[in-house]
Every structure is written in structure tokens, then in C-alpha cells.
Amino acid sequence: MPELPEVEAVCRKLRRDLRGARIRRARLLRASDPRLERRLRGRRIETVERRGKNVLIRLGRDSVLRVHLRMTGNLYALPAAANLPGTARAWFELADGRALVFDDPRALGRIELLSEAELESLSASLGPEPLSAAFTAAYLRAAAARSRQAIKLFLLDQSKIAGLGNIYAAEALHRAGVHPARPANGLGRKRLERLHGAIVAVLELAVQSACNAYEGPGRYNSAETFPVAVYGREGLPCPECGRRVRRILQAGRSTYYCPGCQR
């Protein structure tokens, strides 16, 4: 159930584990493209990158394997002779005997092979990376000014900012003291600057937490190390002011916020 920080942790781990690895054989269950297994055979893993919540594995010859983990996906190198989990949706036997496993209990995740041009258009459909120099307070102000959406939904829109999800959007709004239902274009310069800083701070801390907690197989337990203030804490006291955290629905999804801190 990963957002940017968890996907970043997955990518960093894969980058360490898979440098130069070669795919001997690919198995994809319920693949959208039946030719995919054959096209992946013998490919060398060149780099592992992240764009928003996408894992991008460059295989050379104008081919990029794009993996989206959606809600429950995980991607990791399995040691040689280790058992494949029953929830594996795809696996890639490597020349050294290990396997790269796409484990996804809910099977909502996606794998596809893209050309550089297709990757370019995917990337163009996404907003800036929030931890890059492209994500400035000025950018956030300009984008927010063009949207009447509730700010929480604006933050979840991947075409505006790439990588925020339900947890860290809520946490960033709490840190910035902004009510999640306020229209994006109704926020003043000061609050947008605070929100910009909060997004960056929350994500930087969450990346650290996710990388420390993430070990590959198993769960993302970054929630155990990231100090969640509001997410999933309905009815519990806000760590800042003690008021009870509320849960509302926005676009059918839960938003948690503190009625004392967030106006």
C-alpha cells in the first residue's frame, strides 16, 4: 500500500540488490500482454528508478519495465532456493539463482513494458517530484490557484504532484494547519508556503522511516517508525492540541484531520 516514501525504499533496495542482474526467465500471471514473458528473457537490469509511485526498471534496447504497486504490491529480490509466496503475481528468475518477485495479495498492481517514448508520456502526465527542485512554493501556488478542488483531493491528484497518497497528504495538511476540505484556490500565499514546506518535510521524514523499516519481503512497516499525527487515528487525541481526530469522507476515501489545528 505504498506511497512515494515506500516506493522509494523499494527502489533503493532493488538498486543495491539487482545491480547487473540478468533475467533468465519471466513468469507473469494474468499478464495483459502474453508476449511479455518472451520479451523479458535474457534482459539485463541496468537501473532502477522511481517516478511518482512508479518503479521503473531499465532493461536496455529502449525497454523500461514499469511496475505500479497500487494498494498492496511489493517488489523484492528473493534469495536463491527461497519459497515463492503464494501471492506472487509475477517473478523473474535471475541468472544467479535468485528471483525478482512482484508480490501483490490484492492483485491491483500493474506491470508493463514501455518504450522510452511511452515512459516520456507517462512522466509528462505526472506533476513534479515533490522532493526535487522542480517542486517549489511558487509552483504549488500557481497550480492551486487553478483548482477549486478540496485541497486534500488536489494533493492526491498525481498530475499536480507525483507521489502523495492518502496517508502523507493527511499528515502534510495537519503539519501545515490546513483543513482538508478547503478549496485549493482559496488558500492564501502564507498557508500555501506552509503547506509546501510541510509536504517536503513529511516526505523526507517518511522516506527515512520507510528506508529504515523496509527489508524487502514482508510488510511496509514505516507506520511503526513514522510519527503519524492524524492518519488512522479517529477519536484519538491530536498530539499537538489534544482535540479528538476526526474522519470524513472525500471522494469516497477517508480523510483524517484535527479540528483544533486545521482550519
Partner DNA sequence: AACACGACCTGGTAGC
Partner DNA sequence: TGCTACCAGGTCGTGT
- Least Å distance, CB 83 to DNA, is 16
Task: Check binding of 2 to DNA (CB under 7 A).
Answer: yes
Single residue of 41, 60, 251, 263 touching DNA by CB under 7 A: 251
| Binding string, residues 4-43; x marks residues near DNA by CB under 7 A | -xx-----------------------x-------------
- Cα separation, 248 vs 258, whole angstroms: 11
User: Are the C-beta atoms of 137 and 143 separated by less than 8 Å?
Assistant: no
Q: Which of 210, 228, 229, 245 binds DNA (CB under 7 A)?
A: 210
Whole-number Cα distances in Å, 60 to 55, 97, 123, 232:
16, 21, 18, 42
Can you tell me whether residue 257 is helix, strand or coil? Answer: strand
According to CB under 7 A, which one of 33, 42, 60, 71 is a site residue for DNA? 71
Q: Element (H or E) spanning 29, and its range?
A: none
Residue 1 corresponds to which amino acid?
A: M
Which residues, 81 to 110, sit near DNA by CB under 7 A? 87, 105-108
What is the phi-psi region of residue 160: left when phi exceeds 0, alpha when psi lies from -120 to 50, beta otherwise?
A: alpha
Using the rule CB under 7 A, is 167 a contact of DNA? yes
Q: How is residue 129 written as a grid cell?
A: 517530484
Residue closer to DNA (CB basis): 138 or 251 = 251
Q: Which residues bind DNA (CB under 7 A)?
A: 1-3, 5-6, 30, 52-53, 68, 70-71, 87, 105-108, 147-150, 153, 156, 158, 165-167, 210, 219-223, 251-254
